Structure 1
Amino acid sequence: MNSAPAYGLWTLVILNSAIFILFAYSFVKPRTRLDWRSLGAFSAFVVALFTEMYGFPLSIYFLSGWLGERYPNVDFLSHDNGHLWHTLLGFEGNPHLDPLHLLSNLLIVAGFFLLASAWGVLHRAQRHRELATTGWYSRCRHPQYLAFVLIMFGFLLQWPTIPTLLMFPVLVVVYVRLARREEAMALEEFGDRYRRYMEATPRWFPRFNVKQAN
């Protein structure tokens, strides 16, 4: 494993945070207050993540006593050993190739794909003052928030930290509340049409046996 320290790299913190936030922004293109809140919650998570990944390893310092006692021969200040799940679960070899890291990459890519697909449908519907019921919106009611949760969970599998582990359930609650607020607004605007959509379409877990309209 690479034992070179990889912290205090604040340029990497800024660049990586900016890349992922701008990448999400390019898909989301926030227009409403709810759009900005959802992107802001995700941005806070990303900044906290990369701050510990390349800036200052707060979690490793906080756990240093326990980690040093249990793993006396492991230098947790090297970048490779910052992948805590790799060590704690007893994986060997390159941490970037362990099953959790590969799964995390799959979840992050899937999340961004879902985000891009969902927001395109939503914004077309918003422009025409219509319900978003096609594409991923025919499979679940809030694919855009599901996408953010998938991406954040993927990052947790790749690089867990105490702040992001604490933030994750809080942000999930934020997205649940935003989803409920969106539903209340849609009920006011579309009434029975949205009620029928709610009855036919699950809120979070997509159904895949849906025939798409041409």
Structure 2
Amino acid sequence: MNDAAPAYGLWSLVIVNSAIFILFAYTFFKPQTPRDWRSFGAFSAFLVALFVEMYGFPLTIYFLSGWLQSRFPDVDWFSHDAGHLLEMMFGWKTNPHAGPFHILSFVLIGAGFVLISTAWTVLYDAQRTRRLATAGPYGYVRHPQYLGFILVMLGFLVQWPTILTLAMFPILTIMYVKLARDEERAVRAEFGEGYDKYAAEVPAFIPKIGRLLRTQSSDS
């Protein structure tokens, strides 16, 4: 890392990274309804807040600088790598980008985007033929796209935790749960007992381990 290069105040990177990830998420999610746009807008706000602290102004580091410097005096907390708080606090100081938390974050983010994309394809086909979406990820959870957004946000939190995004995460998760319930009322009104039977067998957000294991054993 070049110590002469500024660690923060890189507002062009804030704009570029926010735009890239928001457009990337848009291509996966393809919002159409007002409900879709609300969930996508909240997710976009989370990304902007994240990149503002990642490249613009490190509010969390400034707020916690006294405590961090007293507990971890060997770390330059105003270097850019120090923004990977979990890697720094747990001792992975040489290259945080190769640390376990950073790798875990990429797994969560990648899984979230794949889940969003796969679920949208299944949902689009079901809506086009006016059927209930039960295939693919909908066979494991009833709201895979909302779960995908939660996984992506969780991945970014593991990689670069900030006070603002930590505060936003539970609020956005609750919002997604409420949106899912509103969505279920609309789908139940359309499909009636068919949806009731589906909802009784498939959980909303957390898949059943036994169902996953049965699928893996049948595939093998």
Same fold (TM over 0.5): yes
TM-score normalized with structure 1 length: 0.94
Q: Which runs of 5+ in 2 are unaligned?
A: none
Q: Which runs of 5+ in 1 are unaligned?
A: none
Offset at residue 88 of structure 1 (A) = 1.3
Q: For residues 50-79 of structure 1, what are the alpha-carbon distances to aligned partners after superposition, in whole Å with 9 as ceiling and x for unaligned?
A: 000001101111111212222233221111
SS where residue 44 of structure 2 aligns?
helix
Q: For residues 89-146 of structure 1, what are the alpha-carbon distances to aligned partners after superposition, in whole Å with 9 as ceiling and x for unaligned?
A: 2223200011111011111111111111001111222222221111111111000011
- What is the number of residues matched between the two proteins? 212
Identity %: 61
Corresponding residue number in structure 1 for 2:151: 150
Aligned residues of 1:122 and 1:132 also touching (Cα < 8 A): yes
Corresponding residue number in structure 1 for 2:77: 76
Q: For residues 23-69 of structure 1, what are the alpha-carbon distances to aligned partners after superposition, in whole Å with 9 as ceiling and x for unaligned?
A: 11111111111111111111011000000000110111111121222
Offset at residue 210 of structure 1 (A) = 4.7
Aligned residues of 2:72 and 2:89 also touching (Cα < 8 A): no
CA distance in 1, matches of 2:53, 2:29: 26
SS where residue 8 of structure 2 aligns?
coil
Corresponding residue number in structure 2 for 1:20: 21
- Summarize the Cα distance change of 1:153–1:59 in structure 2 as closer, same or farther, 3 Å threshold: same
Q: Aligned-residue CA RMSD in angstroms?
A: 1.6
Corresponding residue number in structure 1 for 2:31: 30
Offset at residue 168 of structure 1 (A) = 0.5
CA distance in 1, matches of 2:2, 2:157: 21
Corresponding residue number in structure 2 for 1:59: 60
Aligned residues of 1:139 and 1:210 also touching (Cα < 8 A): no
Q: For residues 155-182 of structure 1, what are the alpha-carbon distances to aligned partners after superposition, in whole Å with 9 as ceiling and x for unaligned?
A: 0110000000111011110111011111
